[in-house]
Amino acid sequence: MARLYADEHFPRIVSELLRTMGHDVLTVQEAGNANLGIPDPEVLAFAVNNNRAVLTINRYDFIRLHRLQTDHDGIIVCTDDLDRNRLATRINEAISNEEDLRGKLIRVVRPSR
């Protein structure tokens, strides 16, 4: 399963649900990096230094970062979904199909209504 780093605005309950699915999820809060105003490039650098893919709902900034720096352990950008179980399931499905997340940008989009 995947080693993930959930950024500051990523829903905590989704991180917990992903853990029940077997993923190793470290949150910004658990890493002691919460409420510090850490810029996105430094969030990505922390993930890279810890061999983790970034998990975020901050899509536009991290898509831009991916275009600038493809040497990372993966970036998973998600459309926020208030159905947290569905979001966790869609993330799990998207990354479970990947042999290796390194250098990849994975998009998880909320289904249309």
Answer yes or no: is 45 within a domain. yes
Structural domain total, the chain: 1
pTM: 0.93
Q: Within a domain: residue 36?
A: yes
pLDDT tens profile 29-72 = 999 888 888 899 999 999 999 999 999 999 999 999 999 999 99
pLDDT by residue (tens digit) across 72-96? 999 999 999 999 999 999 999 999 9
Model pLDDT, residue 113: 64
Domain containing 13 equals 3-108
Kindly state whether residue 113 falls inside one of the protein's structural domains: no
* Domain-located, residue 64: yes
Is 39 among the domain residues?
yes
DSSP the chain: --EEEE-TTS-HHHHHHHHHTT-EEEETTTTT-TTS---HHHHHHHHHHTT-EEEES-HHHHHHHHHH---SS-EEEE---S-HHHHHHHHHHHHHT-S--TT-EEEE-PPP-
